[in-house]
C-alpha cells in the first residue's frame, strides 16, 4: 500500500510517495531523497548523528516515521547554509574546531541550532554539554563543540540585534 505525504524539506515543498509506511525519516532523507548529510549512527536514537529539525524542534530522525510527519517542515544540514553563506553555527564549528572525524558533526550542528533557537543554551558550558548530551562524539571534540555553541549564540544574538535596529 503506497502513501503520499507532503513535506517542506530545506525550504522546498516535496510530495513523497512511501511504498512502506514504516520508513523512518532518516531512511527517507538518505535513501529516497539522497540527502546524505544526515548520518545513520546507531539507528536507535542513542547517538544523535541523525539529528534534524522538524518544525524547528530537534529530533532523532531514526526514531520518527516519515508517514507521521505529513505537512511538517524539515531542515537538514544541507538546508542550513544560504547559498555560499554558512549558518553561524557551521561557521563557529569551523572556527572553534568543533569536529575531528566529522561523522557526528551534522547531528551536532543541527542539535546546536535547535538548542540556540530554543533559547536554552545560556552561557554556562556545563549546561550546554548537558543539553547536547544526546549527541555523542567518539573523537571527544566536546570542548570545541561547546565553544562553537557559545560563539554561534553570540553571533546570532548580535545579528538579531542589528536586524532589530
Are the CB atoms for 72 and 8 separated by under 8 Å? yes
Beta-sheet strands, E only, within the chain: 3-9, 12-18, 51-54, 57-60, 73-75
pLDDT, residue 92, reads 96
The domain spans of the chain are 3-79, 88-164
pLDDT tens track for 8-17:
999 999 999 9
Helices 88-95 and 105-118, axial angle in degrees (round to 10): 120
- Over residues 36-76, the pLDDT tens digits come to 999 999 999 999 999 999 999 999 999 999 999 999 999 99
Integer angstrom CA distances of residue 32 from 28, 78, 86, 162: 5, 15, 26, 40
- Residue 104's pLDDT is 93
Whether domain 3-79 has CATH 3.30.70.270: no
pLDDT of 160 reads 74
pLDDT at residue 156, as a whole number: 87
- pLDDT for 165: 65
Number of H helices, E strands in the chain: 5, 5
**Domain 88-164, CATH among 3.20.20.70, 3.30.70.100, 3.80.30.20, 1.10.150.120:** 1.10.150.120
Measure the CA–CA gap between 18 and 68, rounded to whole angstroms.
Answer: 12
14: left (phi over 0), alpha (psi -120 to 50) or beta: beta
Q: CA–CA distance from 139 to each of 98, 106, 125 (Å)?
A: 10, 14, 19
Amino acid at each position: 500500500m503506497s502513501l503520499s505525504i507532503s513535506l517542506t524539506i530545506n525550504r522546498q515543498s516535496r510530495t513523497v510517495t512511501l511504498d512502506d509506511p514504516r520508513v523512518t525519516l532518516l531512511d527517507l532523507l538518505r535513501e529516497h531523497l539522497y540527502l546524505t548529510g544526515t548520518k545513520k549512527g546507531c539507528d536507535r536514537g542513542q547517538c544523535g548523528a541523525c539529528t534534524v529539525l522538524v518544525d524547528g524542534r530537534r529530533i532523532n530522525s531514526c526514531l520518527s516515521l516519515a508517514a507521521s510527519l505529513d505537512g511538517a517542515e524539515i531542515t537538514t544540514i544541507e538546508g542550513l547554509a544560504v547559498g555560499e553563506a554558512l549558518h553561524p553555527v557551521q561557521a563557529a564549528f569551523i572556527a572553534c574546531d568543533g569536529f575531528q572525524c566529522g561523522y557526528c558533526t551534522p547531528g551536532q550542528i543541527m542539535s546546536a541550532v535547535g538548542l540556540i533557537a530554543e533559547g536554552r543554551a545560556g552561557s554556562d558550558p556545563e549546561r550546554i554539554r548537558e543539553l547536547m548530551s544526546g549527541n555523542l562524539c567518539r573523537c571527544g571534540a566536546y570542548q570545541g563543540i561547546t565553544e562553537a555553541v557559545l560563539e554561534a549564540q553570540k553571533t546570532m544574538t548580535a545579528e538579531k540585534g542589528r536586524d532589530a535596529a
